[in-house]
Amino acid sequence: MITALLFAIGIVLIAGVVAFFGVNEVLNVIFTANAWYIAAAVIIQAAILLLLAGRLVLIARKHYHIGFIDAFKITLSGMAISMLTPIAKIGGEPLKIYLLKKKKMDGSEATAVIAVDTLAELASSLLMVFIIFMLYARELPAALSSSFIVFLVVVAVIIVGLLKLLLNPRWMRKLVRFASRKISKFAHVKKRDYARLFYNAFQVLIKDKSIIASAFGISFVTKILEFCRMWLVFAAIGVFLPWDVVVIVWSVILVLYLIPWLPGSLGLVELFGAGAFVMLGVTSGAAAGGLLIDRFISFWFVLIFGLLIATTMKLPKNVRR
């Protein structure tokens, strides 16, 4: 009920953004978009999802050989739940762990796999934004430069904090004991030293250079494909964006996702993402229309597809509610 209410608020905010940029102009942009370019963008988004599933298979294989179809379902279900989660936007991570456990993987190993998967995503995003910032710092408007710096600092602190936590058995033991009490509300948790087991499983993964290198490689490829998807979406409306504009606005949107807000940062991404395009020379109607199409592919398409897949899986009662 609360999630539905938050989504309703987000949709109202999106409607307000469309009105702000001009309803007729935005709708004209959307309805005259080239369908072939849009189809190509959807195919690229599908490729991104397949790569993310492949990354999970790759990381998990050190402990358990999970099938690609299962990995795809787990990845999409987790992404969908994260998109439904306001503020923290990480609600899908515990679900991924739970689903891996349902595939007969040990709980500590499942947690270690998802920890490495999440760290690969966070660290690759941080490095990509840092590279973009260094390359285009002189071209960025002051408002965008400050948002880049805030993002880099916050994500760096998060990564360092996570690594400190994950690599310290004593701190991890306290966290796992707390998490076990929460998890036991919907699943039976045996009294075992999960902190030590997790620590051992995590060490096995991060010491395997081939797994870490491959996970990061896949993460970077997905980022490049996201650039291509955005370029194709705007090409569909007749706007052939320079590469620097694509990567800068992509980074801005990533920053916006970090801000505590409604599920999927509804309204926030649409307003400030389109505003960033306008600041970089795109007309207002094209900026808002193109971004709405891209959001349909990268957010709504993934959310709906993920929820459909989730309905075929046995989820905890807490999640089904």
Backbone phi, psi, residue 282, to 5°: -85, 140
* Residue 63 Cα to chain centre, angstroms: 24
Residue with tokens 């494909």: 225
More confident residue, 220 or 164: 220
Per-residue pLDDT tens for 104-130?
777 778 888 888 898 888 888 888 888
Enter the pTM of the model.
0.85
| 236-285 per-position pLDDT tens digit | 999 999 999 999 899 889 888 877 778 888 999 999 999 999 988 999 99
How many alpha carbons fall within 13 Å on the CB side of residue 108? 23
Domain regions of the chain by residue span: 27-320
Which two three-digit tokens encode residue 138? 């002189």
Predicted confidence at residue 186, as pLDDT, reads 40
Phi, psi dihedrals of residue 238, rounded to the nearest 5°: 85, 15
Which 3-state string (H, E, C) describes 7-60?
Answer: HHHHHHHHHHHHHHHCHHHHHHHHHCCCHHHHHHHHHHHHHHHHHHHHHHHHHH
Cβ contact 270:13 at 8 Å = yes
* Integer Cα distance of 225 and 284 in angstroms: 25
Residue type for 115, please? A
- Condensed to tens digits (0 to 9), the pLDDT of residues 223-232 reads 999 999 999 9
Q: What is the pLDDT of residues 140-170, one digit of tens each?
A: 777 677 767 777 777 777 777 766 666 666 6
More confident residue, 157 or 32: 32
**Whether residue 182 has pLDDT greater than 60:** no
Mean pLDDT of the chain: 83
- pLDDT value for 316: 60
Name the band, by pLDDT with cuts 50, 70 and 90, for residue 16.
very high
Within 10 A of 312 (CB to CB), how many other CB atoms are there? 9
pLDDT at residue 321 tops 90: no
Cα separation, 15 vs 50, whole angstroms: 32
SS3 316: coil
Q: Tell which residue, 226, 299, 239, has the closest CA to residue 267.
A: 299
Q: What is the dihedral of CA 245, 272, 259, 80, to 10 degrees?
A: -80
Q: Is the pLDDT of residue 97 over 70?
A: yes
Please give the pLDDT value at position 185.
43
pLDDT on residue 106? 77
Per-residue pLDDT tens over the stretch 185-213: 444 444 444 556 666 666 777 778 888 89
pLDDT tens figures, 45-90: 999 999 999 999 999 887 778 899 999 999 999 999 888 876 555 6
